[in-house]
């Protein structure tokens, strides 16, 4: 079974949540007989085609951007070529250019789309884009949401509810490099074992400004690992009085990330907007058996992290409740141990890469068989 993933970004150039999901899925579905190709755009493609962990990545140069959306005639032409050679196309939403590509070149190929997030920040663009978006979502064979929470709270998914199914994102612990004892010791010497860890891109919806307000003038140590468009302004905020307990590391290696996850007291993800549709860094925390702190925003964050079971879920954008949750975990060893064990158990029950791959492979097969049985 040959599958083409189509999204605006991909590894090895970009390491965001959707790119990580595509990579994990492409690797994990190999065990189910799926041969994956990934087609994405890049400002400066490393190579038109390259092999990566058993699947093939194709990159096309970005032509131009409108309102931050990549457009690429080269990508559309590569898509037409590749789509003719696969059994199914797997789109990843949102990317309006993919909608146009599908309507132009993809309608004869069985297709699904993973709906990663509503469009939250650009209401004017959404109003203009909405007819195309609903036309695209109405033409693909199936829509996959990553959590039941998001299905319940997304007006877009509710409009297409009869064609939506839920497959949670999963991770493979074996794909994470074990850190060397020397590196763990060095990071422990630098940060200790009582810090709360944030890992991720420093974007507008991540709520890091709220996190800084929450821990100001407290004894709560915080380590922030990641870069992004807000890094400079957030580092400047952290230089103001009362935040000597916060350390910014910038982007870290996968080995260092794993060492930090092993060492930390818990994982904090203060995302306060629905652009945070799932929260892979929370999932990594659960995989490492760590308690979690996040906000209740009606998305997959509180599907991963169950308040009072695997960690704490607080009001979005509220520094006070965030501080209270973190202080409770900082000073209660028994609670940390219980939440951490329950987080690891929930990960094994719901969020393994094998479980995700089995569900997607079965869906691919159903969609292809239904298309084969439908008269053209």
- Rounded to a whole number of angstroms, the distance between the first and last alpha carbons of the chain is 21
Measured between alpha carbons, how far is 278 from 169 in angstroms, rounded to an integer?
8
Which residues, in sequence order, are CB contacts of 313 under 8 Å at separation 6+? 293, 294, 295, 296, 301, 302, 305, 306, 307
Assess contact for 376 and 195: CB atoms under 8 A.
no
In the chain, the domains with their CATH numbers are 2-172+353-373 (3.40.50.2000), 174-350 (3.40.50.2000)
Q: Which pair of structure tokens corresponds to residue 358?
A: 């089995």
Map residue 225 onto helix, strand or coil.
strand
Measured between alpha carbons, how far is 318 from 207 in angstroms, rounded to an integer?
10
Q: Judging by beta carbons within 10 Å of its beta carbon (0-12, 13-18, 19+), is residue 76 exposed, middle or buried?
A: buried
Measured in residues, the chain has a length of 376
Q: What sign results for the dihedral spanned by CA atoms 154, 156, 158, 163? A: negative
The pLDDT tens digits for 340-364 are 999 999 999 999 999 999 999 999 9
How confident is the model at residue 13, as a pLDDT? 84
Return the closest-CA partner of residue 176 out of 41, 53, 94, 8. 53
Burial 257-290 (b: 16+ CB within 10 A, else e): bbbbbbbbbbbbbbbbbbbbbbbbbbbbbbbbbb
Cα–Cα separations (whole angstroms), residue 245 to 213, 218, 238, 263: 12, 8, 9, 17
How confident is the model at residue 126, as a pLDDT? 86
Burial 188-226 (b: 16+ CB within 10 A, else e): eeebeebbbbbbbbbbebbbbbbbbbbbbeeebbbbbbb
How confident is the model at residue 252, as a pLDDT? 96
The pLDDT tens digits for 227-260 are 999 999 999 999 999 999 999 999 999 999 999 9
Q: State which residues of the chain have pLDDT below 50.
A: none
Task: Outline where the chain has alpha helix (H).
Answer: 17-28, 73-83, 96-101, 123-139, 148-153, 155-159, 181-191, 208-215, 231-238, 254-263, 280-287, 301-304, 319-330, 333-350, 353-373
Whole-model pTM: value is 0.93
How confident is the model at residue 376, as a pLDDT? 60
How confident is the model at residue 14, as a pLDDT? 82
How confident is the model at residue 17, as a pLDDT? 85
Measured between alpha carbons, how far is 261 from 259 in angstroms, rounded to an integer?
5
């Amino acid at each position: 079974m040959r599958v083409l993933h189509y999204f605006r970004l991909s590894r090895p150039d970009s390491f965001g949540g959707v790119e990580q999901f595509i990579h994990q899925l492409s690797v994990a579905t190999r065990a189910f007989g799926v041969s994956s190709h990934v087609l994405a755009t890049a400002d400066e493609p490393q190579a038109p085609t390259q092999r990566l962990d058993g699947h093939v990545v194709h990159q096309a140069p970005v032509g131009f951007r409108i309102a931050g959306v990549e457009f690429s005639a080269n990508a559309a032409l590569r898509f037409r070529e590749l789509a003719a050679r696969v059994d199914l196309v797997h789109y990843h939403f949102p990317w309006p250019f993919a909608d146009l590509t599908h309507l132009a070149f993809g309608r004869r190929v069985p297709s699904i789309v993973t709906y990663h997030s509503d469009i939250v920040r650009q209401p004017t663009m959404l109003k203009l884009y909405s007819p195309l978006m609903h036309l695209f979502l109405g033409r693909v064979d199936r829509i996959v949401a990553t959590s039941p929470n998001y299905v319940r709270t997304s007006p877009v998914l509710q409009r297409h509810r009869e064609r939506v199914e839920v497959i949670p994102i999963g991770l493979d612990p074996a794909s994470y490099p074990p850190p060397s004892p020397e590196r763990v010791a060095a990071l422990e010497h630098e940060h200790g074992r009582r810090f709360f860890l944030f890992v991720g891109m420093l974007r507008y919806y991540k709520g890091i400004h709220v996190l800084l307000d929450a821990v100001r003038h407290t004894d709560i140590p915080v380590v922030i690992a990641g870069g992004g468009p807000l890094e400079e302004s957030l580092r400047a905020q952290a230089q103001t009085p009362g935040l000597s307990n916060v350390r910014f590391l910038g982007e870290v290696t996968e080995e260092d990330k794993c060492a930090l996850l092993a060492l930390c007291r818990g994982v904090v993800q203060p995302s306060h907007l629905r652009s945070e549709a799932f929260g892979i860094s929370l999932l990594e925390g659960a995989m490492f058996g760590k308690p979690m702190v996040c906000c209740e925003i009606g998305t997959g964050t509180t599907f991963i992290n169950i308040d009072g079971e695997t960690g704490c879920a607080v009001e979005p954008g509220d520094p006070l409740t965030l501080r209270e949750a973190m202080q409770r975990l900082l000073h209660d060893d028994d609670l940390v141990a219980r939440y951490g064990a329950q987080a690891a158990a929930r990960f094994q029950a719901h969020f393994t890469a094998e479980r995700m791959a089995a569900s997607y492979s079965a869906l691919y097969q159903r969609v292809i068989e239904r298309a084969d049985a439908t008269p053209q």
